[in-house]
Chain A
Amino acid sequence: MSTRTTAVLRSAFADAAARRSAFWTQIAAMIVNDVAWVAFWLIFFNRVSSVRGWDADRVLLLFAVLTTSAGLVLGLLSNCRRIPTLVEDGSLDEVLALPVAPLPHLLVRRVDTVNLGDVAFGVVLFAVSGHPTGQRLLVFVAGSLASAVLLTGFLVLTGSLVFVNGGGRAGDLGLHSVLLLASYPADVFTGATKALLYTAVPAAFVSAVPARLIDDFTVSDALMLLGAACLFATLGWAAFTAGLRRYTSGSSWGRG
């Protein structure tokens, strides 16, 4: 990451942390939210010992990876979910006027503290229920980072559809769908739905594949995850760059 991008990220973080009471309230709220999900899974597996090879331990591992990676993306790179809004209201103009690469600058410009609670929760959940060893910790960190890269690419890709269709609904639907689908073990699904999770809406790579790698590492799965992360990062970057070529300002100065 370049020095300039790091500096922007640091100032965005300082801005978020400056509102101290809101900062801690929001982090606490997100942790309560995550605890409720863990409670759901524990209740579920109290009734059903396992579903298609997934038991409570493995699902908690999946959830640890998901909260960590989604927390990193939606917390530190929070603008990746706001690309449609930034394009529609003309806020993109401010970034284009600067002598920096627009996408990295845009992504790190805003920090959402509420999602940083997810990161803390994910790490603690892994420490408590993930049976951490040196190797498992390494795979957890690498898997969460690969998942975060993939998720960022996917959100930038779906958000960049705004350059084509002029509305932010596709981005919203992409965000909610991928997070929702990633919250459940991919093997619950069959046929076309399962294929979808490994391709167009890559939710399986966001959580299920990294969780499986922690429990049962295979080089082929690791390469597949890495490949999917690179592919979606490239697609996101390409879609945003292509979109910028079509972009015309929507700022309030230029209207009417």
Chain B
Amino acid sequence: MRLRRIGVPADVAGRRLLADRDGWVVNCLFYLIVSGVLSALWRAAAGDGDIAGYSAAALTWYIVTAEAATCALSIRLIEEVGDEIGSGAVAVEMLRPVPVIVVRLVAEVGRGVARLATLLGPGVALAWLVVGPPPSAAGAVLAVPALVLALAANLCLQHAMAAAAFWLRDTRAMWFLYQKLVFILGGMLLPLEVLPDVLRDVAMVLPFMTMAYVPARLAAGHVEPVLLLVQVGWLVVLAAAAALAFARGQQRLQVVGG
């Protein structure tokens, strides 16, 4: 019964997103433009050969998947959550009988999965149209749960970072830096194998790789189910970090007036 109640924010957030048709259509168009641009760049670079073990077709599927994983979330989420903490608006959520972080994460996952559903169809159509079917059907199937895990891990880390607002009050510049880490160390713009050796080794042990690289590598035809276990491991760590940061931060929160 309680579990069902916890699922309500996800359901409501997902339905709200789908009801805003103009919003998700524009988001979808933007996703297609980004994916089209980046895949054109990588296809031009790869030509008939391959780059770091990825053919032009694999790179196209990689980009379409990596972009879906990141475009499914609000780019400025850290700033939005940080603003609500900094302004004290989060205090209202503390009145609920469920921890603030749980409600927030569940709602954001609901919104993210709904947005992902709107992106995947056009994204798959784009890649299929340009380079044909995915390099491996098994890889493509594994990429679906990996995308959901990628969203969840990304949301947990963004909330853990946004919780800094309990101490700093302002996290506005932080989303910029976070976004760039996901861009490069997360493999959103390029497969991690393309990075110089040292940087690649560093990226492989950081959580950002779970947020774009893992689902994208699977979709690009590298059938490596162990990557899903890596995602689950990081998800547990990041969820614990977000919960701890919020629990500590809420004890410090003081709201005057309102």
Could you tell me which A residues sit within 8 Å of B by CB distance? 22, 25-26, 28-30, 32-33, 36, 39-40, 43-44, 46-48, 51-52, 167, 169, 172-173, 176-177, 180-181, 184, 188-189, 193
**Closest-CB distance, B206 to chain A (whole angstroms):** 15
Instruction: List the B side residues contacting A177 at CB < 8 Å.
Output: 30, 33
Using CB atoms, name the residue of chain A closest to B189.
A40
Instruction: List the B side residues contacting A169 at CB < 8 Å.
Output: 22-23, 26
Whether A46 and B196, one on each chain, are in contact in the complex, defined by CB atoms closer than 8 angstroms, is: yes
Whether B26 and A51, one on each chain, are in contact in the complex, defined by CB atoms closer than 8 angstroms, is: no
Instruction: List the A side residues contacting B51 at CB < 8 Å.
Output: 47-48
Using CB atoms, name the residue of chain A closest to B179.
A33
Once A32-B180, A47-B51, A169-B22 are accepted as A-B contacts, the answer to whether A193 and B41 lie under 8 Å apart by CB is: no
Whether B34 and A51, one on each chain, are in contact in the complex, defined by CB atoms closer than 8 angstroms, is: no
Whether A33 and B22, one on each chain, are in contact in the complex, defined by CB atoms closer than 8 angstroms, is: no
Interface residue SS majority, chain A: helix
**Closest-CB distance, B33 to chain A (whole angstroms):** 6
Once A40-B189, A47-B51, A47-B52 are accepted as A-B contacts, the answer to whether A184 and B37 lie under 8 Å apart by CB is: yes
Contact of B190 among A32, A40, A184 (CB under 8 A): A40
Instruction: List the B side residues contacting A22 at CB < 8 Å.
Output: 170, 172
Using CB atoms, name the residue of chain B closest to A49.
B45
Instruction: List the B side residues contacting A51 at CB < 8 Å.
Output: 41, 44-45
Instruction: List the A side residues contacting B199 at CB < 8 Å.
Output: 43
Using CB atoms, name the residue of chain A closest to B34.
A180
Whether B37 and A32, one on each chain, are in contact in the complex, defined by CB atoms closer than 8 angstroms, is: no
For the A-B complex, the count of residue pairs with Cβ-Cβ distances under 8 Å equals 73
Instruction: List the B side residues contacting A173 at CB < 8 Å.
Output: 26, 29-30
6 further A-B contacts with Cβ under 8 Å, apart from A30-B176, A36-B183, A47-B52, are A28-B173, A29-B173, A32-B177, A33-B176, A40-B183, A46-B196
How far, in whole Å, are A158 and B170 apart by their CA atoms in the complex? 32
Q: A32, A51, A189 — which one has the most chain B CB atoms within 10 A of its CB?
A: A51
Whether A193 and B36, one on each chain, are in contact in the complex, defined by CB atoms closer than 8 angstroms, is: yes
Q: Mark B187-198, 1 if CB is under 8 A from A, else 0.
A: 001100011100
Whether B173 and A25, one on each chain, are in contact in the complex, defined by CB atoms closer than 8 angstroms, is: yes
